[in-house]
Amino acid sequence: MKKVERKILLNPGPATTTVSVKNAMVVEDICPREEKFGALIEGIKNDLVKVIHGEGEYVAALFAASGTGGLEAAITSAVPKGKKLLVVENGAYGTRMIKLAQTFDIDVVKYQLEYGDYPSLDAIESLLKENDDVSHLAVVHHETTTGMLNPIQEICYLSHKYGVEVIVDCMSSYAGIPINAKKWQAEYIVSSSNNCIQGMAGLAFVIFKVDLLSKLSEQKRSFYFNIYNQYVGFEKTGQLQFTPPVQVCHALRQAIDEYLEEGEEGRWNRYKDNWELLVEGLQDLGLSFLLPYGQQSKILLAIMEPKHPNYNFDAMHDYLYEKGFTIYPGKGAKSATFRLSVLGDLYRKDIEDFLVALKGYLTSIA
Ligand SMILES: Cc1ncc(COP(=O)(O)O)c(C=O)c1O
């Protein structure tokens, strides 16, 4: 295996991966219609459900796509014609779900907030009361735009009170922040292979309640991103409908094994510890944050951009990139920010080294 330099990705996915996940992609050529490959996919699908404790009640549909493909599958498969989707929009990924739904002529009721504002349950309840033609509510668990953790449990409870099903975008929280699907009772949970699960980009998955299958069989908005066809097709044939990225599937298998070995608590504690260390270090450097502590996901920070006249995000990015650290710009939050995330195969020493490098940049412009 070619030796590659380890890079510290502080962007919120795709994340820094282990050497073993990278190596897992070097496999013999195989036709994905072979039984052996089908068994690999079967195991992956089962374990994806296990990660969020959904066994027995939830199943997974897997698509060759980035995460947005999973959202497209969930939204277009779930929302029936003539019904509306209520979207909680307090970040760019809420906005994206609105655009996605509108592309398919799905009527959207927006609960619009500034990027970084915490959703009010009373406001959501009013919208649910006022719009009895809403069949689904879509919300982002960890809003990667700001680092906000939205109150999914409470939103699920409210939605169900009004007979509304819930689609949760867990792109940047799944396998990082502990999730219990059966506690939430969310109908659809969407994520992808390249964030906290620490695999490679290329697979999106929708974990959904198996008892929704008969309802789903009636939806025909999308050909490729159809949860029913993808799930039932695999059940019948042991094959995915369309050509999967074989090597990325092997990497995901390895990444799931490593997740199960580290354990839910182990991964969450590693991320939280790295985040705490980052918070303290950034505060020592005089930086402050967009969100109050209690609303933070503890795996990503939106940091207020320094006011110094010599500060420039691109220059800071390039300075740090040269040293092996990738940072991320802001994304329309209500104040100017840049972002740092700790998801991925990162450790204390990586954060300490990063803080030294960042101090170097800030000193160079002072
Ligand atoms: C919360 C959230 N939703 C959706 C997406 C879109 O995922 P992708 O770029 O893999 O399509 C992202 C990507 O970062 C995200 O953080």
Non-local (6+) Cβ contacts of 204 within 8 A are 62, 63, 65, 66, 67, 68, 69, 70, 71, 73, 190, 191, 192, 193
Q: Any bridge partners for residue 169, and if so which?
A: 140, 190
Domains and CATH numbers, the chain: 25-261 (3.40.640.10), 264-365 (3.90.1150.10)
Condensed to tens digits (0 to 9), the pLDDT of residues 110-152 reads: 999 999 999 999 999 999 999 999 999 999 999 999 999 999 9
Which amino acid, one-letter code, is at 345?
Answer: D
3-state secondary structure of 109: strand
Which residue, judged by its Cα, is nearest atom 12 of ligand 1?
171
Whether the pTM exceeds 0.75: the reply is yes
pLDDT of residue 332: 82
The 10 Å CB-count burial string (b at 16+, else e) for 244-266 is bbbebbbbbbbbbebbeebebee
- As a whole number, mean pLDDT of residues 150-168 equals 98
**Residue 169: CB within 6 Å of ligand 1?**
yes
Query: For ligand 1, is residue 172 a contact (CB within 6 Å)?
Result: yes
pLDDT, tens only, 261-295: 999 999 999 999 999 999 999 999 999 999 999 99
Phi and psi at 273, nearest 5°, equal -65, -45
Distance CA 248, CA 328 (A): 24
- The whole-number average pLDDT for the span 243-254 is 98
Q: What is the pLDDT of residue 3?
A: 84
Decide: 150 in ligand 1 pocket, CB within 6 A: no
pLDDT at 11: 97
Pocket test for ligand 1, best of 95, 149, 172, 205 (most atoms within 8 A of CB): 172
Three-point CA angle 217, 46, 142, nearest 5°:
85
